[in-house]
């Protein structure tokens, strides 16, 4: 089976600003692949190039084993896209949004009704089909955007920050829908700012910064490789603690009022610290993708 | 992605706009039905009483009969120009409708062609409605007057294209008032609409001949009153050439704006 997305040396700049700086990666069939990175890392530009919205400056792009140049119309017919900004059609109802979009894809009219019905059911929007899009909550809108992206029965689903701004209920609802789609074997490419989302959904991911790929791998492998098993956070550390850690040869990060200690032997170290150095404000927790992300991209604000 | 990629799929964009229009047709029908009534009452009855009759094409023509076809021409201009400036700008900038379309197999060429043909369609709908009202006053000469409908489509396309060019250039929706002050309003007054052009100094007459509305008014008047002559061919050619010039500008302008 050919790879669904093959990106080689993809590059895009706007004026003198380089948005995507020669990245390469491959997404396999049935995989959920994540693009992570701080604001301005080039995630959205990358996926826009992949669904043919933004022209590439240089580099090779193959989708479904086909070279993209000159084949966009047939390729776009196989891709479903949830763009970042809300661009549902506010002049139309929920059902009309879906019907109109199906027409853009030239879905045969005898199939439209059936597909719209099953997608309304899939996204739990039945009963709202005649609602005005303007009256929908953020969560409902996102579900409608997902339903819209599935109308053409895509072989590749592209999601640009699918759950930004949603409440926890809506996020979990959307995640379980994405799980369902994954079980059906749908290949998904997504960008997100939420590390828990990436960790839960992605088989593999890349972390980007300033247009370049920093790391690529499965979430758990990346955590193991770049952070270790566990993390100890010490709030308001006593002055000699830094010295103790240095003597022990433990890797830590100093964030002013807090120390973040990375360790594969977290439990023993934690017990040590607790009994000898700091009785309070010391916390042991499993390492997460967020630790990887912050270690690699730094903690300073981006915008 | 450079090149010209237009299939008949542009009809999908047209259908989308038509679908929205059908939801509000009761409101959309009002202006073309009421406006001619207001204008005919004010200019035809009120001003016409002062003006009486004037000579048009060598024949004495009542003032109301003279301005009625011009009202149709003005409506053709305004319908499509407004649709493809304010209407298209809202869809492009605020509703991101074009961005959503670009994630489907639709191309920029198809989106813009669909939008322009929709603007022209609004001109045709408006013309048909105005014709009903105006013919109630016996001011249209049938069957010639039926040719106003294809004229409306041609004129609609001409102003839709130039409207779309404006939409591709303006930074904000307020800026669209500029082409309206500088282009639409002067034409509204000085294109042989409410008084014959030969009342103007000759330099102004020449200038007026370069304006698309002048030609559209001429065509509407000729077909409405059933007084065709050779100059109508020139006017048709003028509007066709106008479309051929501004349509590619509309496409390239919108491509520059949307593809980033």
The domain total for chain A is 2
Check whether residue A256 and residue A140 sit in a common domain.
no
pLDDT mean over B136-145: 89
- Cβ–Cβ gap B20/A53 under 8 Å: no
Beta strands in A201-255 (DSSP E): 204-209, 212-217, 230-235, 251-254
Three-state SS annotation for B104-173: CCCCHHHHHHHHHHHHHHHHHHHHHHHHHHHHHCCCCCCCHHHHHHHHHHHHHHHHHHHHHHHHHHCCCC
Check whether residue A119 and residue A268 sit in a common domain.
no
Check whether residue A95 and residue A186 sit in a common domain.
yes
Check whether residue A109 and residue A191 sit in a common domain.
yes
Min Cα separation A285/chain B (Å): 42
In a domain, A53, yes or no: yes
Query: Which of A223, A239, A267 is the last residue in one of the domains?
Result: A223
What pLDDT is attached to residue B1? 40
Check whether residue A140 and residue A183 sit in a common domain.
yes
Please list, in sequence order, all residues whose beta carbon lies within 8 angstroms of the beta carbon of residue A202, skipping any fewer than 6 positions away: A32, A33, A34, A190, A219
pTM for the predicted model, two decimal places:
0.91
Query: What residues in B contact A103, CB-CB < 8 Å?
Result: 12, 15-16
What pLDDT is attached to residue A140? 92
- Pick the range with the lowest mean pLDDT from B51-55, B127-131, B183-187, B192-196: B51-55
Min Cα separation A97/chain B (Å): 9
Q: Report percent pLDDT > 70 for chain B.
A: 99
pLDDT mean over B41-53: 81
Check whether residue A245 and residue A176 sit in a common domain.
no
* Residue among B224, B222, B223, B214 nearest B194 (CA): B214
Domain that holds residue A260: 228-286
CATH code of residue A208: 3.40.50.300
Query: Which of A223, A244, A273 is the last residue in one of the domains?
Result: A223
* A220 and B CB contact within 8 Å: no
Query: What residues in A contact B107, CB-CB < 8 Å?
Result: 73
In a domain, A296, yes or no: no
> Does pLDDT of B130 surpass 60?
yes
What pLDDT is attached to residue B92? 95
Check whether residue A163 and residue A255 sit in a common domain.
no
* Residue among B60, B72, B67, B64 nearest B48 (CA): B64
Residues 38-77 of A with CB under 8 A from B: 51-55, 72-74, 76-77
- Which two tokens mark A174? 């959307």
Check whether residue A119 and residue A241 sit in a common domain.
no
What pLDDT is attached to residue B2? 47
Q: Is the ipTM of this complex over 0.85?
A: yes
Nearest to B95 among A55, A89, A152 (CB): A89
Query: Which of A174, A208, A223 is the last residue in one of the domains?
Result: A223
Q: Can you give the pLDDT of all 303 residues of chain A as single tens digits?
A: 679 999 999 999 999 999 999 999 999 999 999 999 988 899 999 999 999 999 999 999 999 999 998 889 999 999 999 998 889 999 999 999 999 999 999 999 999 999 999 999 999 999 999 999 999 998 899 999 999 999 999 999 999 999 888 889 889 999 999 999 999 999 999 999 889 999 999 999 999 999 999 999 999 999 999 888 888 888 877 767 777 778 877 888 888 788 888 888 777 888 877 777 776 778 888 999 998 898 888 877 766
Q: CA A35, CA A161: separation in Å to the nearest integer?
A: 10
* A90 and B CB contact within 8 Å: yes
Check whether residue A127 and residue A158 sit in a common domain.
yes
Check whether residue A87 and residue A150 sit in a common domain.
yes
In a domain, A294, yes or no: no
* A87 and B CB contact within 8 Å: yes
Q: Using one digit for the tens of pLDDT, what is the confidence trace for B108-128?
A: 999 999 999 999 999 999 999
């Amino acid at each position: 089976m050919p790879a669904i997305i093959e990106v080689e040396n993809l590059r895009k700049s706007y004026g003198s600003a380089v948005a995507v700086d020669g990245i390469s990666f491959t997404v396999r069939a049935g995989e959920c692949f994540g693009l992570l990175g701080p604001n301005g890392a080039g995630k959205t530009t990358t996926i826009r190039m992949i669904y043919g919205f933004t022209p590439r400056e240089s580099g090779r792009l193959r989708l479904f084993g086909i070279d993209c140049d000159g084949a966009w119309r047939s390729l776009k017919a196989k891709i479903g896209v949830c763009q970042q900004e809300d661009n549902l059609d506010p002049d139309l109802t929920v059902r009309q949004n879906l019907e109109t979009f199906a027409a853009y894809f030239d879905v045969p009219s005898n199939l439209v009704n059936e597909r719209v019905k099953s997608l309304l059911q899939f996204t739990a929007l039945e009963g709202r089909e005649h609602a005005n899009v303007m009256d929908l909550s953020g969560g409902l809108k996102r579900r409608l955007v997902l339903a819209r992206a599935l109308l053409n029965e895509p072989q590749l689903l592209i999601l640009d920050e699918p759950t930004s701004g949603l409440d926890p209920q809506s996020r979990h609802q959307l995640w379980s829908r994405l799980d369902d789609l994954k079980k059906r074997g749908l290949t998904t490419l997504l960008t997100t700012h939420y590390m828990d989302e990436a960790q839960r959904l992605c088989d593999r991911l890349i972390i980007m910064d300033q247009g370049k790929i920093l790391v690529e791998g499965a979430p758990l492998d990346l955590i193991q490789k770049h952070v270790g098993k566990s993390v100890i956070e010490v709030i308001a550390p006593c002055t000699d603690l830094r010295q103790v850690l240095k003597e022990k040869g433990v890797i830590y990060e100093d964030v002013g009022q807090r120390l973040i200690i990375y360790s594969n032997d977290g439990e023993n170290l934690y017990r040590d610290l607790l009994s000898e150095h700091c009785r309070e404000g010391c916390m042991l927790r499993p390492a997460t993708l967020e630790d990887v992300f912050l270690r690699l991209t730094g903690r300073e604000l981006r915008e | 992605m450079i090149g010209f990629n237009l299939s008949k799929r542009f009809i999908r964009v047209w259908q989308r706009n038509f679908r929205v229009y059908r939801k509000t047709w009761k409101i959309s029908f009002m202006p073309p039905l009421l406006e001619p009534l207001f204008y005919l009452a004010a200019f035809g009855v009120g001003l016409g009483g002062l003006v009486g009759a004037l000579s048009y094409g060598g024949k004495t023509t009542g003032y109301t009969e003279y301005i009625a076809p011009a009202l149709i021409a003005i409506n053709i201009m305004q319908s499509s120009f407004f649709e493809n400036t304010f209407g298209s700008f809202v869809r492009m900038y605020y509703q991101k409708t074009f961005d959503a379309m670009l994630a489907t197999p639709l191309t920029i060429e198809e989106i813009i062609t669909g939008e322009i043909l929709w603007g022209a369609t609004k001109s045709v709908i408006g013309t048909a409605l105005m014709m009903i009202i105006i013919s109630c006053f016996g001011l249209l000469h049938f069957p010639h007057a039926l040719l106003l409908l294809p004229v409306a489509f041609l004129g609609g396309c001409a102003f839709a294209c130039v409207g779309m060019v404006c939409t591709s250039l303006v930074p904000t929706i307020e800026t669209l008032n500029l082409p309206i002050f500088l282009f639409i309003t002067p034409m509204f007054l000085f294109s042989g609409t409410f008084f014959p052009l030969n009342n103007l100094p000759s330099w102004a007459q020449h200038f007026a001949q370069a304006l698309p509305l002048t030609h559209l008014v001429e065509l509407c008047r000729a077909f409405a009153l059933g007084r065709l002559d050779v100059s109508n061919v020139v006017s048709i050619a003028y509007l066709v050439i106008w479309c051929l010039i501004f349509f590619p500008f509309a496409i390239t302008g919108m491509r520059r704006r949307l593809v980033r």
